[in-house]
């Protein structure tokens, strides 16, 4: 089974969120099951830099597109084959793949990511004379337009569109203003798609062109990154205006949820080279060395009895971190500690930084993202906060389970599919793995926090839950088998 994954991020070379982790692991897991999975990605600076260490980089071809002359390179890295779109005018820029260094979206993103989808279709049509995919799996809005190109060109490959987060619809004006040209041009005409695709039965979404809708509407099958999220997005509350279309997809058997996995070669406390002390469920006492190291690193009060809560997250309303802010005074009063790593909305960043200044012995805040620090935090903390208002899958709670750092989550999306609450019944059945609350209210959140303090005071039960959490298997093999079964059915 030949599969082309179309994406904008790839761990370990370029990461702004969980999408990169998925692309870094899923193709490899599929290949271990006998598939031939490859990746198509723009040659962003971080990608090119990482390719200096690649096993092999060959120029495949140079050809003209609606965006000018493009070179396509083939590379191999860590046993995975990649196609790199070399278009320096569009991709050789500072900042993230989507924004400049001031967090402003690039004004030509409509062209930059249309080019990604266009090249995916060209590969499906046989651009590489040595390899041609049977399945094109496009990931999130950045690649969604690939499904429209495939439909327009007679579906040379079956298409799967994976929604990692429906909150980002990838919308652009119908008319596009090119640099130096005052008169607007039809976006669809500019990127080589027919005008009749701009329709409610097509790409049109509230008067704009939506690349995410392109994926949802034109794909042969739509997946999301957890079963619960697949159901939630069919409702008006979570559907973001796409719920009617998604209900139709579900009714036609074209929508399913496959829970993301974890690469345990990267995220395993038994072998993690980024943490102070390795440990496992059999020698949990060693985890305390990581806790002490974390407290020491951030000048927190060195106290093994203090319950350390952690946040490793994008700082946004979606993630429910305003609840953490509101609950912090009570956590501090109960002698708890908080270590936060993240970046995002300015008001949240500022609020967390200010409270860290007031309580430097109990609160530590790092604005930004540091992969090694994320490992140290998850290994050293006792509880991980993920109080999201909605969460397609979530990966940090999967990591924390393996590290015996009990997740405290809201029952939504992939959080609901991966964390089992420490209710009396679940504790008795030895299946509890964390703390789950229902409503996105401060009252429910604080009640879950109080339950974590109560369990923390019962060392035997706490270790029981830790061991249960660490034994749960969320490896990519299970997810890859589900994807491969889907691909074969198409």
What's the length of the chain? 490
- Residue 441: name the closest of 326, 334, 346 by CA: 326
Task: Give every CB contact of residue 253 below 8 A, 6+ residues apart in sequence.
Answer: none
Residues 446, 325: Cα–Cα separation, whole Å:
11
Task: Give every CB contact of residue 321 below 8 A, 6+ residues apart in sequence.
Answer: 311, 313, 315, 342, 348, 352, 385, 387
Annotated binding residue 125:
no
Residues 262, 414: Cα–Cα separation, whole Å:
13
- Other CB atoms within 10 Å distance of the CB of residue 165: 22
DSSP codes joined into one string, 189-200: HHHT--GGGSST
Query: Contact at 8 Å (CB) between 363 and 334?
Result: no
Query: Contact at 8 Å (CB) between 116 and 139?
Result: no
Q: Where are the alpha helices (DSSP H) in 363-405?
A: 371-380, 396-402
Residues 345, 339: Cα–Cα separation, whole Å:
18
Going through 15-98 in order, the beta strands assigned E by DSSP cover: 36-42, 56-65, 68-77, 80-86
Query: Contact at 8 Å (CB) between 43 and 84?
Result: yes
- Residue 381: name the closest of 312, 479, 430 by CA: 312
Residues 20, 308: Cα–Cα separation, whole Å:
28
Q: Looking at the DSSP assignment, which residues form a beta bridge with residue 92? A: none
Residues 3, 36: Cα–Cα separation, whole Å:
6
Residues 97, 95: Cα–Cα separation, whole Å:
7
Residues 199, 253: Cα–Cα separation, whole Å:
23
Binding site feature residues for ADP-alpha-D-glucose? 15
Residue ranges of the binding site: 15
């Amino acid at each position: 089974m030949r599969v082309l994954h179309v994406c904008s991020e790839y761990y370990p070379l370029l990461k702004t969120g969980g999408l990169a982790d998925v692309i870094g692991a899923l193709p490899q897991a599929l290949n271990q099951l006998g598939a031939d999975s490859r990746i198509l990605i723009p040659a962003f600076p971080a990608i090119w830099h990482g390719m200096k260490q690649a096993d092999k980089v060959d120029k495949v071809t140079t050809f003209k597109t609606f965006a000018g002359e493009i070179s396509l390179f083939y590379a191999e890295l860590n046993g995975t084959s990649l196609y790199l779109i070399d278009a320096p005018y569009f991709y050789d820029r500072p900042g993230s793949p989507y924004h400049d260094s001031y967090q402003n979206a690039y004004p030509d993103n409509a062209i930059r990511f249309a080019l990604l989808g266009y090249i995916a279709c060209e590969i499906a049509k046989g651009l590489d004379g040595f390899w041609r995919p049977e399945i094109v799996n496009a990931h999130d809005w950045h690649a969604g337009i690939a499904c429209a190109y495939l439909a327009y060109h007679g579906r040379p490959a079956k298409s799967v569109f994976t929604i990692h987060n429906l909150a980002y619809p990838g919308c652009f004006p119908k008319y596009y203003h090119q640099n130096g040209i005052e008169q607007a041009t039809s976006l669809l005409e500019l990127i080589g798609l027919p005008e009749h695709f701009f329709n409610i039965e097509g790409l049109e979404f509230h008067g704009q062109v939506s690349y995410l809708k392109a994926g949802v509407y034109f794909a042969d099958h739509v997946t999301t990154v957890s079963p619960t999220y697949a159901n939630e997005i069919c409702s008006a509350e979570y559907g973001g205006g796409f719920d009617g279309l998604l209900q139709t997809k579900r009714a036609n058997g074209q929508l399913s949820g496959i829970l993301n996995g974890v690469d345990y070669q990267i995220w395993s406390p038994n072998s993690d080279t980024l943490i102070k002390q390795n440990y496992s469920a059999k020698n949990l006492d060693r985890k305390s060395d990581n806790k002490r190291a974390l407290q020491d690193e951030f000048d927190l009060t060195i106290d093994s009895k203090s319950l350390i809560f952690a946040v490793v997250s994008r700082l946004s309303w979606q993630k429910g971190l305003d609840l953490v802010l509101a609950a912090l005074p009570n956590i501090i009063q109960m002698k708890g500690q908080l270590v936060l790593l993240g970046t995002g909305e300015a008001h949240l960043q500022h609020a967390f930084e200010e409270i860290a200044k007031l309580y430097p012995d109990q609160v530590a805040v790092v604005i930004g993202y540091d992969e090694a620090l994320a490992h140290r935090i998850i290994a050293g903390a006792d509880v991980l906060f993920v109080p999201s208002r909605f969460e397609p899958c979530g990966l940090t709670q999967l990591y924390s389970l393996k590290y015996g750092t009990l997740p405290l989550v809201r029952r939504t999306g992939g959080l609901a599919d991966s964390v089992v609450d420490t209710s009396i019944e679940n504790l008795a059945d030895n299946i509890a793995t964390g703390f789950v609350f229902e409503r996105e209210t401060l009252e429910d959140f604080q009640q879950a926090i109080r339950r974590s303090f109560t369990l923390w005071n019962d060392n035997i039960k706490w270790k029981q839950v830790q061991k249960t959490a660490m034994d749960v298997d969320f490896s990519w093999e299970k997810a890859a088998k589900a994807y491969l079964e889907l691909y074969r059915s198409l």
